[in-house]
Amino acid sequence: MTSSLDFNAITVSYGDHQVLHEVSVGIGGGGWLGIVGPNGAGKSTLLRTVAGSVPYGGSVRVNQTPIEEAGHRDRARMVAYVPQRPIHPRGMAVFDYVLLGRTPYLGPLASETSDDISAVWEALDALRLVDFADRDVATLSGGETQRVSLARVVAQDAPIVVLDEATASLDVAAQHEALELIDRLRTERGITVVSAIHDLTAAAQFCEQVALIDHGMVVGAGSPEEVFTEETLAGVFEPSIRVIEVDGSTVIVSLRSEEAKK
């Protein structure tokens, strides 16, 4: 069964500074919602509300039920979260790292069962990481590290996955591969994905829905075709942004002005 996710009038303040102003946006079960916008717009903050790692006003709803009513571990069973820069502790084996994904299913003093171990092997297999099981998680390449983070998410077996610019540090090919992998996991497992994405072209190609955020407010929400117009994007980013079609796909680029070239 898939799970829908809705942000309902989310407000977040850091001290006197209000970062999000009554943000309301949502995605149906099994969909992919991309949160886009300039640096400092509040994308990461919005995602942290789902993970419960920032105090907020309003409500996050999973299948129309407020997630705030769930306990800490129940919440972790509903939502898996990959931060912008996940910590991969030096000396920890890949297997052990992925095993952490089973934490929400274990009581404070409990040990993992054979079902948990099987779930880890399945996750490693899904991400082609079986041969990496005993490797030190801190010694992997960017792309491999990304897959390890996703394997932990798979082991966590939550219907909703929140990714905070999880592919930002990867090169073009590795980023594309990671996004394809996320899309495959989404379609095969019916996972609902919510991700902050800097790369508007990638967002246009992978996300079913996008929410454009600027200064803590939603300035556009809907399908990428609806939101990614030159007029809307120019108002948020810069006037020189262009939306073009290449082989049926939307490509969004920022052109250098004639003045700057001189």
Partner 1 sequence: MNAGRPSGTRLHWWWIGAAALVLLSAIVLGVMVGPVRISPYAIVGSMLDRLPFIEVDTGLSDRTEAILWEIRMPRVVLAVLVGSMLSAAGAGYQGVFRNPLADPYLLGAGAGAGLGATVAIAYGPSTSGWIIDPLPLAAFVGAVAGVALAYILGYTVRSGRTSVTLILAGVAVAAFLTAIQTFLQQRESDTLREVYGWILGSLNTAGWSEVVMVTPYVVVCLAGILAGRRLLDVLAVGDTEAGTLGVKPGRVRLVFVVFATLGTAAVVSVSGLIGFVGIIVPHTVRLLTSASYRVVVPLSILLGGAFLVAADVIARVAVSPSEIPIGVVTAMIGAPFFAVVLRTSKGVVS
Binding site for partner 1 (CB under 8 A): 48, 51-53, 72-77, 79-81, 83, 86-97, 99-101, 103-104, 106, 108-109, 111, 114, 117-118, 120-122, 124-125, 130, 133-134, 156
Question: Judged by CB, which is closer to partner 1: 138, or 253?
Answer: 138
Residue whose C-alpha is closest to residue 128's, from 114, 107, 143, 116: 143
Query: To the nearest whole angstrom, how small is the minimum distance from the Cβ of residue 136 to partner 1?
Result: 9
Across 215-230, b (16+ Cβ under 10 Å) vs e yields ebebbbbeebeebbee
Question: Judged by CB, which is closer to partner 1: 164, or 214?
Answer: 164
Pairing between strand 209-214 and 217-222?
antiparallel
Question: Judged by CB, which is closer to partner 1: 99, or 210?
Answer: 99
Query: To the nearest whole angstrom, how small is the minimum distance from the Cβ of residue 91 to partner 1?
Result: 3
Q: Which helix (H) or strand (E) holds 116?
A: helix 114-126
* Neighbour order of strands in the sheet with 79-82: 79-82, 160-164, 192-196, 32-36, 209-214, 217-222
Helix, strand, coil fractions of the chain, as percent rounded to 5: 40, 30, 30
Calculate the CA 87 to chain-centre distance: 16
Question: Judged by CB, which is closer to partner 1: 56, or 81?
Answer: 81
Query: To the nearest whole angstrom, how small is the minimum distance from the Cβ of residue 157 to partner 1?
Result: 12
**Cα 95 from Cα 129, distance rounded (Å):** 9
Question: Judged by CB, which is closer to partner 1: 78, or 200?
Answer: 78
Question: Judged by CB, which is closer to partner 1: 62, or 210?
Answer: 62
Cβ–Cβ under 8 Å, residues 248 and 229: no
Query: To the nearest whole angstrom, how small is the minimum distance from the Cβ of residue 104 to partner 1?
Result: 4
Query: To the nearest whole angstrom, how small is the minimum distance from the Cβ of residue 135 to partner 1?
Result: 11
Question: Judged by CB, which is closer to partner 1: 47, or 243?
Answer: 47
CB neighbourhood size of 29 (10 A) = 16
Query: To the nearest whole angstrom, how small is the minimum distance from the Cβ of residue 66 to partner 1?
Result: 18
CB neighbourhood size of 259 (10 A) = 6
Query: To the nearest whole angstrom, how small is the minimum distance from the Cβ of residue 12 to partner 1?
Result: 15
